[in-house]
Amino acid sequence: MKKKTTQQEILLMTGTRFAAREYSERTDPDGKSSFSAIEKLEEACWNGLLPEMLPEIMVQPEDGQKMYMWSITEGSSFLGIELGDRQEEKDKFFSIDPYVFLRTQELS
């Protein structure tokens, strides 16, 4: 029997107030960073602030496994975050990534 896996995709829209918020408290105590707002947001996600920023959408697997962040990809107007209890290829049919979704729709 194949073990169930939990995967989650999150799209953080750039160019919004949420993306422009200051997340540098833990990552840059001096506040003298030359990174863009998108780069700061990405770094905050890698540093583990995602559950604090979006606690209402963070999924916890039923079997108590820990969720890991596997990748962050930058699109033209979003950051795509892939989470899972283990690394597996995402199901393109159920993806919310517009680049994957639109490519799948063209083939239908």
User: Over the chain, what is the mean pLDDT?
Assistant: 80
Give residue for tokens 């283990």: 86
Q: pLDDT digits over 46-105, tens only? A: 998 998 888 898 877 777 788 899 999 998 899 999 998 888 887 778 888 888 877 655
DSSP conformational letter for 55: T
Contact criterion met (CB below 8 Å) for 97 and 78? no
Q: What is the pTM of this model?
A: 0.77
Domain definitions of the chain by residue range: 7-107
In angstroms, the CA 92 to CA 89 distance is: 9
